[in-house]
């Protein structure tokens, strides 16, 4: 039962619940009209304390496509935060104004704190370098859409695995599906956090291979998930500059990949995928962003108890 729940961490959703969301999202994608009044009379609040394009607007689009309404802010500077209001007070008040809330915050744990004071479901729209569960819903929906099943997949995840919250949520989620193998490609400074790696291996006994080389592994994976180096989480500009060109995917490198590769990226892209790659039929990151609207529609509807 998803109704009334908070979605803060990727592990808040069981594999069965993930499948329920993905299946509803696929139905919504196939026939959006049918769901155009599903959330009539309901209000979504978007509280974004950190920049966002896709996540905020795809949540808004999702709610509007189901006949609901949206309130919120995308710049904390113009909200009462500026006057020194804390998250607990903000959410206590805002959860009287909306039926469901999505929050993005630069501090890890902020949406969890908010959920403890909220009368309505809180969805984590990304908290610092920690988690981003609705990007993961988007990602697994994309895998299901193109690969038909979320099993027996070798996935390479490349880029900033230390600070990339989409990566953390994706690893936590995919590791619970059958026969998933990970190739984790990053500069040695940006490897996945040790505790995350250990907990995944210990709990789910999945295969993880860590490497610094994209070229050596691009040829034998079913999915390649590129990510940007997370500039805003670095302590020094110099360190960022040193690492920002670590991986650049070009048509030349893609020549060695499988014909049926699924190439993903949560976006925004900086320089890690060259623009020529966009023409390649295996590049699905813009489709992935499109599917994200349906993933969020399904999630909102289920949390509001409005799935049918």
Span of 204-212, 252-260, 266-274, 296-304 interacting with ligand NCD by CB under 6 A: 266-274
Catalytic residue among 46, 55, 138, 227: 55
How far apart are the C-alpha atoms of 65 and 237, rounded to whole Å? 41
Active site residue 306: no
Is there binding between residue 157 and ligand NCD (CB under 6 A)? Answer: no
Q: Is 27 in the site for ligand NCD (CB under 6 A)?
A: no
Among 168, 228, 284, 296, binds ligand NCD (CB under 6 A): 228
Q: Considering the complex, what minimum distance in angstroms separates the CB of residue 165 from ligand NCD?
A: 5
Binding status of residue 55 toward ligand NCD by CB under 6 A:
yes
For residue 130, state whether it binds ligand NCD (rule: CB under 6 A). Answer: no
56 binds ligand NCD (CB under 6 A): no
Conformation bin of residue 31: beta by default, left when phi > 0, alpha when psi is -120 to 50: beta
Our answer to whether residue 132 is catalytic in this structure is yes
Member of 5, 27, 54, 253 binding ligand NCD (CB under 6 A): 54
Nearest CA to 157 out of 125, 135, 124, 126 is that of 135
- Minimum Å gap between C-beta 135 and ligand NCD is 5
Q: Is 104 a catalytic residue?
A: yes
Alpha carbons 91 and 13: distance in angstroms, whole number = 23
Q: Does 165 bind ligand NCD (CB under 6 A)?
A: yes
Torsions phi, psi of 303, nearest 5? -70, -30
Contact 33, 57 (CB under 8 A): no
Q: Which candidate, 11, 10, 15, places its Cα nearest to that of 178?
A: 15
Of residues 97-126, those binding ligand NCD (CB under 6 A): 126
**Chain position carrying tokens 């209001």:** 85
Active-site residue, selected from the candidate residues 5, 27, 54, 233: 54
| Least distance between ligand NCD and beta carbon 76 (Å) | 16
* Per-position DSSP letters for 212-266, written without gaps between them: S-STTTGGG-SEEEE----GGG-S-HHHHHHHTTS--B-HHHHTTS-TT-EEE--
Residue of 6, 56, 99, 104 marked active site: 104
**Per CB under 6 A, which region of 95-103, 214-222, 244-252, 262-270 contacts ligand NCD?**
262-270
Could you please report the per-residue DSSP string of 142-165?
A: HHHHHHSSSSSEEEEEES-TTT-H
Which of 10, 62, 162, 267 binds ligand NCD (CB under 6 A)? It is 267
Contacts of 293 (CB under 8 A, 6+ apart): 58, 61, 62, 65
Positions marked catalytic: 54-55, 83, 104, 132
Residues that bind ligand NCD (CB under 6 A): 54-55, 126, 132, 135, 165-166, 227-228, 266-268
């Amino acid at each position: 039962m998803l109704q009334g729940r908070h979605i803060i961490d990727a592990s808040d959703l069981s594999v069965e619940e993930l499948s329920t969301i993905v299946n509803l999202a696929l139905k919504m994608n196939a026939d959006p009209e049918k769901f155009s009044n599903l959330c009539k009379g309901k209000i979504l609040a978007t509280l974004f304390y950190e920049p966002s394009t896709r996540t905020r607007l795809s949540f808004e689009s999702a709610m509007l496509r189901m006949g609901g309404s949206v309130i919120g802010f995308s710049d904390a500077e113009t909200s009462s935060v500026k006057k020194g209001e804390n998250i607990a007070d903000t959410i206590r008040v805002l959860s009287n104004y909306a039926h469901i809330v999505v929050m993005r915050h630069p501090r890890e744990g902020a949406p969890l704190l908010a959920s403890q004071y909220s009368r309505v479901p809180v969805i984590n729209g990304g908290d610092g370098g920690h988690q981003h569960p609705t990007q993961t819903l988007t990602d697994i929906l994309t895998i299901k859409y193109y690969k038909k099943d979320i099993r027996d997949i070798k996935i390479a995840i490349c880029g900033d695995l230390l600070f990339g919250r989409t990566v953390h949520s994706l690893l936590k989620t995919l590791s619970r599906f059958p026969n998933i193998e990970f190739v984790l490609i990053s500069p040695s400074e940006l490897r996945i956090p040790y505790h995350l790696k250990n907990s995944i291996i210990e709990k789910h006994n999945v295969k993880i291979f860590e490497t610094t080389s994209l070229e050596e592994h691009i040829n034998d994976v079913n999915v390649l998930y590129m990510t940007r180096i997370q500039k805003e989480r670095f302590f020094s500009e110099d360190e960022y500059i040193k690492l920002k060109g670590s991986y650049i995917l070009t048509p030349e490198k893609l020549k060695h990949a499988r014909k049926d590769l699924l190439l993903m990226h949560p976006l925004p892209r900086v320089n890690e995928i060259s623009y020529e790659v966009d023409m390649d039929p295996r590049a699905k990151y813009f489709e992935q962003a499109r599917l994200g609207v349906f993933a969020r529609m399904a999630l909102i509807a289920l949390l509001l108890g409005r799935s049918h």
